[in-house]
């Protein structure tokens, strides 16, 4: 997959493609259905498959003081989009200029002149352009006038007849329901980060941890999780199982900013500075303040036992 950040320098080999438009935060099963619709059109015509998305997320532009809410900041989002067989990921910088671009100019400059699209695919609720001036009907008419096809993908429902949505996924994660979030995502929720130095308390207790902060990511419920940890390497991530704590560590002094401490089972090696991908498989228990380190160590041992059981059952 090729990644471009400017619609004015699209190579000729990637012009004339099927463009799928959206924010795609989460790249959940609803988003995947929209991209699959584009892939089906591209497969019939032999055209390149292009995903057009926006960074930063427009919500961050309009509400910069909001708490972190992203399910998939750019690096993580690109991993999941690439896995869907995309030829080109066009990442448009959402700034004042793009915010002020009218829907008419977006079609003319980005879709027609920039990408030379043969077909455009969007979800049923897609809006674009200054003051949300373009919607699906606007896009359909623009396609008729501009000579490109348009497919509008209807809502896709999860079990229970509820529409897949990033909002529902966020609600599940905040409530400590990562397994339910995974059912909507089509995979476990994961975040990526670089291992930072901590206070080495875990090592002293016999459970050395990799410490990471969530950054732009939505913060899930504080507590203990069964996790899978991917250690990035030249040939992609190598996955391991483990247990992780996310929160402010009340037993050792209440951190101001929450961190994730991941203990990887049956692993030895230096992880400082490594880039990790951490998948939350299931929630074990809330964060608790213990009377001392001895009680904490006993609980960690039990958390490891529970996590191993959860992970073993998840493989079954």
pLDDT digits (tens, 9 = 90+) for 70-81: 999 999 999 999
Q: Which of 22-31, 78-87, 160-169 has the weakest average pLDDT? A: 160-169
Q: How far apart are CA 186 and CA 169, in angstroms?
A: 11
Q: How far apart are CA 195 and CA 210, in angstroms?
A: 6
Q: How far apart are CA 104 and CA 139, in angstroms?
A: 9
Domain ranges of the chain: 2-153, 186-315
Q: What is the DSSP letter of 25?
A: T
CATH code for the part of the protein at 186-315: 2.40.30.30
**Span 2-153 CATH architecture:** 3-Layer(aba) Sandwich (3.40)
Mean pLDDT confidence for 143-155: 96
pTM of the predicted model over 0.85: yes
* Closest to 151 (Cα-Cα) out of 25, 26, 36, 28: 36
Question: What would the two tokens of residue 276 be?
Answer: 């990790």
pLDDT tens digits for range 286-304: 998 888 788 888 999 999 9
Q: What is the DSSP letter of 141?
A: H
String of DSSP letters for 50-95: EEEEEES-HHHHH-TTSPP-BSS-HHHHHHHHHTTT-SEEEEEE-S
Contact yes or no for 278/261 (Cβ under 8 A) = no
């Amino acid at each position: 997959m090729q990644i471009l950040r400017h619609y004015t320098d699209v190579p000729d080999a990637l012009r004339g493609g099927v463009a799928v438009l959206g924010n795609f935060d989460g790249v959940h099963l609803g988003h995947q259905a929209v991209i699959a619709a584009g892939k089906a059109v591209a497969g019939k015509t032999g055209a390149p498959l292009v995903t057009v998305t926006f960074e930063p997320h427009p919500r961050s532009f309009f509400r910069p003081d909001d708490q972190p809410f992203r399910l998939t900041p750019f690096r993580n989002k690109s991993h999941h989009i690439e896995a869907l067989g995309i030829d080109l990921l066009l990442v448009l910088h959402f700034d004042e200029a793009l915010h002020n671009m009218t829907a008419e100019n977006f079609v003319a400059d980005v879709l027609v002149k920039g990408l030379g699209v043969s077909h455009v695919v969007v979800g049923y609720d897609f809006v674009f352009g200054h003051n949300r001036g373009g919607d699906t009907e606007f896009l359909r008419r623009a396609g008729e006038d501009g000579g490109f096809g348009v497919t509008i993908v209807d809502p896709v429902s999860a079990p229970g007849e509820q529409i897949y949505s990033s909002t529902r996924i966020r609600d599940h994660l905040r409530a400590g329901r990562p397994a339910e979030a995974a059912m909507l995502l089509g995979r476990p929720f994961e975040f990526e980060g670089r291992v930072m130095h901590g206070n080495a308390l875990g090592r002293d207790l016999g459970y050395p941890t990799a410490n990471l902060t969530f950054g732009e990511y939505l913060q899930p419920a504080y507590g203990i999780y069964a996790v899978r940890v991917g250690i990035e390497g030249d040939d992609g991530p190598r996955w391991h199982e483990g247990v992780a704590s996310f929160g402010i560590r009340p037993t050792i002094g209440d951190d101001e900013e929450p961190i994730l401490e991941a203990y990887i089972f049956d692993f030895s090696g230096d992880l400082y500075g490594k880039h990790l991908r951490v998948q939350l498989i299931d929630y074990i228990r809330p964060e608790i303040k213990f009377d001392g380190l001895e009680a904490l160590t006993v609980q960690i041992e039990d958390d490891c036992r529970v996590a191993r059981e959860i992970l073993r059952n998840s493989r079954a």
